[in-house]
């Protein structure tokens, strides 16, 4: 059976997240989306781990009373010096059990107060960090998070590296997958041949439980009837992912170069002409994902590595409804329309991927149907995101 996984989210205990996140509303919205396995976020946080401990542990996953599946997951922020530069990178960790999660939390608590932030920041070299985790449990999976984002991405323009090996040195072989992040998609990553050996995965990095955040990117994996953690990590380690769901990379917050405060953005060719300086405030521009990918690329766009999985570009249904109604995505009107459509037609992935356009028109209206049709044909125009500002739909 094929299962949609979103394995990078946060709980209410991470900084900058919605304080109303609960297991109930995560499950509720994950079901509406069509997500089959959801990351727990923040398992090193003592309060959240206590909440998670109330769930039933089975085959390496956690099950709620109604049978919904969570995978133990957290994100950590590493700060360390390497090759003469200060480095800051985020890593997603997947854990096979509550027992192992507790051990990881205990290990990290040697470096920082794990109660202060659900996404702990620790000063430790990345190579050493992997070595320590592998001693705790071989089945912990470490996935560099949103690898291209300027701050905290493994390949980010601010404090990243040019290759996986430059960062993890002797521990590189333990890295099997890279999270491409919202501002890049597999096609962009295919342009760098040194990444061919990595599985490219996509998750939401949601900071709230709302359906326009949760599952906005996801990874489809094949699994036996009895779903289990071992099959999940085998798909990742053996590069057997079926497909990924991607937002249009232009929708991502760091797609182009720019300055949010100056409302200025530029393509990498323009940035080059400007010598990287913002024409408005004369300070260096924040170099986005497309620029970084271009600077490391050694293949033409459209060329494919030997083994690659397909991907589907789509924006959340809430974005489509908000655009159609001309209202903010967090308004009650948009949310109620979303709820109505889901209750009539089934989960969001089903509607966006498979439902007949005529039926969508009948239930959700002519325009929503046309926008979803345009999205399936990859014909939505997006005003690109930059320097922390999301892109948005402008036409279809
Ligand atoms: Zn992160
Ligand atoms: Zn500026």
What ligand has the least distance to the C-alpha of 91? Answer: 1
| pLDDT, tens digit, 9 for 90 and up, residues 357-385 | 999 999 999 999 999 999 999 999 999 99
- Between the CA of 319 and the centroid of ligand 2 the distance, in Å, is 28
> In degrees rounded to 5, what are phi and psi of residue 359?
-70, -40
- Between the CA of 208 and the centroid of ligand 2 the distance, in Å, is 30
- Between the CA of 286 and the centroid of ligand 2 the distance, in Å, is 9
CA angle (294, 235, 1) in 5-degree steps: 120
| pLDDT, tens digit, 9 for 90 and up, residues 165-220 | 999 999 999 999 999 999 999 999 999 999 999 999 999 999 999 999 999 999 99
Q: Is the pLDDT reported for residue 71 higher than 90? A: yes
What mean pLDDT value characterizes the chain?
97
What is the predicted pLDDT for the residue at 87? Answer: 98
Instruction: Indicate if the alpha-carbon torsion angle 59, 64, 69, 71 is positive or negative.
Output: negative
199-226 burial: b if 16+ Cβ within 10 Å, else e = bbbbbbbbbbbbbbbbbbbbbbbebeee
- Between the CA of 148 and the centroid of ligand 2 the distance, in Å, is 21
Token pair of 129, please?
């960090």
What ligand has the least distance to the C-alpha of 386? Answer: 2
- Between the CA of 324 and the centroid of ligand 1 the distance, in Å, is 31
Token pair of 194, please?
């040194």
- Between the CA of 144 and the centroid of ligand 1 the distance, in Å, is 9
Question: Would you kindly state where each structural domain of the chain is located, as residue ranges?
Answer: 2-250, 316-379
- Between the CA of 246 and the centroid of ligand 2 the distance, in Å, is 29
- Between the CA of 146 and the centroid of ligand 1 the distance, in Å, is 7
- Between the CA of 75 and the centroid of ligand 1 the distance, in Å, is 7
| pLDDT, tens digit, 9 for 90 and up, residues 256-267 | 999 999 999 999
Task: Please tell me the distance from the alpha carbon of residue 225 to that of residue 230, in angstroms, as a whole number.
Answer: 13
* pTM summary value: 0.97
Contact 216, 182 (CB under 8 A): yes
- Between the CA of 384 and the centroid of ligand 1 the distance, in Å, is 21
What is the predicted pLDDT for the residue at 363? Answer: 97
Task: Please tell me the distance from the alpha carbon of residue 192 to that of residue 163, in angstroms, as a whole number.
Answer: 10
What is the predicted pLDDT for the residue at 288? Answer: 95
Mean pLDDT, range 297-323, rounded to an integer = 94
- Between the CA of 119 and the centroid of ligand 1 the distance, in Å, is 8
Of 70, 128, 115, which Cα lies nearest the Cα of 95?
A: 70
Q: Is the pLDDT reported for residue 302 higher than 90? A: no
- Between the CA of 258 and the centroid of ligand 2 the distance, in Å, is 7
- Between the CA of 344 and the centroid of ligand 1 the distance, in Å, is 35
Strand partners, 77: 90, 121
Mean pLDDT, range 216-236, rounded to an integer = 97
What is the predicted pLDDT for the residue at 166? Answer: 98
| pLDDT, tens digit, 9 for 90 and up, residues 91-117 | 999 999 999 999 999 999 999 999 999
- Between the CA of 356 and the centroid of ligand 2 the distance, in Å, is 46
What is the predicted pLDDT for the residue at 159? Answer: 92
Which CATH number does the domain 2-250 belong to among 3.30.930.10, 3.20.20.140, 3.20.20.370, 3.40.50.10860?
3.20.20.140
Q: Is the pLDDT reported for residue 295 higher than 90? A: yes
Q: Is the pLDDT reported for residue 145 higher than 90? A: yes
| pLDDT, tens digit, 9 for 90 and up, residues 46-64 | 999 999 999 999 999 999 9
What is the predicted pLDDT for the residue at 306? Answer: 87
What is the predicted pLDDT for the residue at 351? Answer: 98
Percent of the chain with pLDDT over 70: 100
- Between the CA of 202 and the centroid of ligand 1 the distance, in Å, is 13
Task: Please tell me the distance from the alpha carbon of residue 240 to that of residue 113, in angstroms, as a whole number.
Answer: 37
What is the predicted pLDDT for the residue at 182? Answer: 97
């Amino acid at each position: 059976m094929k299962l949609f996984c979103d394995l990078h989210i946060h709980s209410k205990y991470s900084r900058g997240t919605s304080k109303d996140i609960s297991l109930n509303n995560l499950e509720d919205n994950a079901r509406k989306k069509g997500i089959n396995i959801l990351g727990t976020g923040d398992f090193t946080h003592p309060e959240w781990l206590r909440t998670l401990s109330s769930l039933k542990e089975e085959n390496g996953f956690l099950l709620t009373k109604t049978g919904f599946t969570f995978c133990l997951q957290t994100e950590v922020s590493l700060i360390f010096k390497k090759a003469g530069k200060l480095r800051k990178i985020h890593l997603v960790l997947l854990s096979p059990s509550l027992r192992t999660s507790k051990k990881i939390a205990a290990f990290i608590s040697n470096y920082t107060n794990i109660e202060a932030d659900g996404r702990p920041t620790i000063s430790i070299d990345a190579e050493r960090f992997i070595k320590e985790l592998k001693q705790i449990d071989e089945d912990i999976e470490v996935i560099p998070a949103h690898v291209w984002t300027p701050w905290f991405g493994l390949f980010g323009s601010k404090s990243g590296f040019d290759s996986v090996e430059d960062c993890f040195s002797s521990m590189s072989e333990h890295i099997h997958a890279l999270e491409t992040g919202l501002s890049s998609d597999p096609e962009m990553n295919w342009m760098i041949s040194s990444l061919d050996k990595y599985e490219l995965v996509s998750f939401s990095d949601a900071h709230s439980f709302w359906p326009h955040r949760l599952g906005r990117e996801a990874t489809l994996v094949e699994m036996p009837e009895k779903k289990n953690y071992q099959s999940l990590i085998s798909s990742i380690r053996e590069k057997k992912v079926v497909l990924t769901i991607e937002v249009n990379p232009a929708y991502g917050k760091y797609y182009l170069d720019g300055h949010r405060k100056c409302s200025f953005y530029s393509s990498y060719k323009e940035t080059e002409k400007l010598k990287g300086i913002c024409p408005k405030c004369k300070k260096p521009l924040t170099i986005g994902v497309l620029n970084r990918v271009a600077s490391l690329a050694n293949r033409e766009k459209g060329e494919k590595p030997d083994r690659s999985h397909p991907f589907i570009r789509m924006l959340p249904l809430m974005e489509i409804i908000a655009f159609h109604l001309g209202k903010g995505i967090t308004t009650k009107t948009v949310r109620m329309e979303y709820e109505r459509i889901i209750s009539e037609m089934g989960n969001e992935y089903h509607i966006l991927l498979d439902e007949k356009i005529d039926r969508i028109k009948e239930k959700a209206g002519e325009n929503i149907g046309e926008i979803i049709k345009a999205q399936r044909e990859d014909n939505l125009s997006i005003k690109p995101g930059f320097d922390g500002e999301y892109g948005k739909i402008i036409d279809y």
